[in-house]
Amino acid sequence: MSNSARGENRRRETDEILERKPGTEAVTDLEDRYRVVGAADRETYANWLTPIEEHYVCHRNETLDPAAEEWTVSLGGAVDREAELGMEELRDDYPTVAVAHTMECAGNGRGYFDPETGSVQWEYGAASTAIWTGAPLQSILAHHGAATDEGTWLTAVGGDHPEVEGENDLFARSVPMEKVLEDCILAYEMNGESLPPEHGHPVRLLVPGWYGVNSVKWLAELHVAETMVHGPEWADRDGDDYTQWQQSSYRIHPEGVEPDSNATVSTFDTWDQLEGDEIDHPYTFDENVKSTIGRPADGATVSPREDGTLEIVGVAWAGDDEVTEIEVSTDGGDSWAEGEFFGPNYDCAWRLFRYEWEPSPDTYTLVSRATDERGRRQPMRISEPDGDADGEYPWNEGGYAENAVLPHAVEVTVE
């Protein structure tokens, strides 16, 4: 396909997605390669469940919309019985489970990096929470005699292909078996409806609490092995490269670095990888602790209630760790007060928080700061490219996994 035909396709598909999601907005990519729309607006972050119409979308290749009856997921590698799993079988022969999951693109917040990085310039819009329904992978793998010992990996491959002449990278991600057995599902419904095309119809991998990239849409193949996608066998498997999206893209590294490809790693927590010695350039696995204010909206002029109070509401999450503390500042981070969590409390989904404030008329900079169960607190700002100080999130070439406080500030005027 020529570049201009591809550009036209992308715009048409993005328009179709926007028609189904009237509240959302397209976000542009410097290279104009992704189909992306961001969550509706700040109000999305004042509610626990994100309606499908407000849920962000992000993918690289064409949007598939295959007939469910004809779709199969092939299961192979270290299994006693290889299989082609059909949709009826996935629905009828396995338990049905529902999982609450805050999906966040690893590039959410990339738009705040200075200097600017390439790719989609997301600000806060690439995070959303839905209920995903499907079949537990643990049951499917047990049924087919898969080797699920510690240290093994499950690789998932999407049915989407690059549209550019000369590019041969398939969308493949490898997830450690430990996480797969814990809570991963093959999801065929989202908020009780069958998956819309742009969210991976008819079935996707769902990796609760981990960056969106791990949840492969239009799932075509599952492969059980002792390594993740790595080495010549995967870099040229019948002419296709399965390693790109695991080993090169979606790794956290300084400018100009080509990260090493690893056969396996044993540190899965993204923040542990950032702080530890095992991996030089972390993989974007579980989501870092983060929060966003949803109400009042940025730029709003607001009036307190009759009793003089005003409620600040937002969401806070920490991937598959628990978010345990939320602080709110009304002076741009100079002083902090404890907020309060309320509403639903599920593993791997954000929590609503609120803070009762008694402001006098003025203009304020509101920010929120969350801490996870292991005491890890959001850093204040993003670092310069050549090194991060304490309390800074490391600027990295791909603009991944950003969780700093100040970029998410909300300016409000109280009358």
Footprint on this chain of Mo ion (rule: CB under 5 A): 58, 105, 212-213
- 195, 188 in Cβ contact below 8 A? yes
User: Shortest gap between Cβ of 64 and ligand MTE (angstroms)?
Assistant: 8
**Which residue lies nearest Mo ion, judged by its C-beta?**
105
- 393, 403 in Cβ contact below 8 A? yes
Amino acid 168 reads N
- Interface mask (CB under 6 A) for ligand MTE, residues 110-149, using x and -? ----------------------------------------
Q: Does 160 interact with ligand MTE (rule: CB under 6 A)?
A: yes
Which of ligand MTE, Mo ion, none does residue 160 bind to, with CB < 5 to 8 Å depending on kind? ligand MTE
Number of residues forming the site for ligand MTE (CB under 6 A): 19
**Which secondary-structure segment (H or E) carries 308?**
none
Binding ligand MTE by CB under 6 A: which of 94, 112, 124, 171?
Answer: 171
- 344, 388 in Cβ contact below 8 A? no
Tokens encoding 158: 């999407």
Q: Does 105 interact with ligand MTE (rule: CB under 6 A)?
A: yes
User: Shortest gap between Cβ of 365 and ligand MTE (angstroms)?
Assistant: 29
Tell me if the bond preceding 407 is cis, omega within 30° of 0.
Answer: no
User: Shortest gap between Cβ of 212 and Mo ion (angstroms)?
Assistant: 4
Nearer to Mo ion by Cβ, of 196 and 359: the residue is 196
Which of ligand MTE, Mo ion, none does residue 59 bind to, with CB < 5 to 8 Å depending on kind? ligand MTE
User: How far is the C-alpha of 10 from the C-alpha of 213, rounded, in Å?
Assistant: 19
Structure letter (DSSP) for residue 31: T
Nearer to ligand MTE by Cβ, of 40 and 367: the residue is 40
- Interface mask (CB under 6 A) for ligand MTE, residues 194-223, using x and -? -----x------------xx-xxxx-----
Nearer to ligand MTE by Cβ, of 234 and 364: the residue is 234
Q: Does 162 interact with ligand MTE (rule: CB under 6 A)?
A: no
Burial tier of 114 (Cβ tally within 10 Å: 0-12, 13-18, 19+)? exposed
Q: In terms of Cα–Cα distance, which of 187, 216, 222, 218 is closest to 83?
A: 222
- 157, 97 in Cβ contact below 8 A? no
Q: Tell me the window of 50-58, 181-189, 341-349, 402-410 that interacts with ligand MTE (CB under 6 A).
A: 50-58
Nearer to ligand MTE by Cβ, of 10 and 59: the residue is 59
Distances (CA, A) of 195 to 50, 83, 128, 132, 198: 14, 23, 15, 9, 8
Nearer to ligand MTE by Cβ, of 59 and 281: the residue is 59
User: Shortest gap between Cβ of 213 and Mo ion (angstroms)?
Assistant: 5
* Residues 6+ away with beta carbon under 8 Å from 374: 321
Which of Mo ion, ligand MTE, none does residue 215 bind to, with CB < 5 to 8 Å depending on kind? ligand MTE
Q: Does 326 interact with ligand MTE (rule: CB under 6 A)?
A: no
Residue 185 phi, psi dihedral angles, 5° rounding: -130, 160
> Three-state DSSP class for 366?
strand
Site residues for ligand MTE, window 215-274 (CB under 6 A)? 215-218
Residues in the chain: 415
User: Shortest gap between Cβ of 216 and ligand MTE (angstroms)?
Assistant: 4
- Interface mask (CB under 6 A) for ligand MTE, residues 52-71, using x and -? ---xxxxxxx----------
- 357, 371 in Cβ contact below 8 A? no
* Residues 6+ away with beta carbon under 8 Å from 306: none
* Residues 6+ away with beta carbon under 8 Å from 396: 117, 252, 253, 254
**Which residue lies nearest ligand MTE, judged by its C-beta?**
158
Nearer to Mo ion by Cβ, of 242 and 245: the residue is 245
Q: Does 170 interact with ligand MTE (rule: CB under 6 A)?
A: no
User: How far is the C-alpha of 86 from the C-alpha of 233, rounded, in Å?
Assistant: 27
Q: Rule CB under 6 A: which residues touch ligand MTE?
A: 55-61, 103, 105, 158, 160, 171, 199, 212-213, 215-218
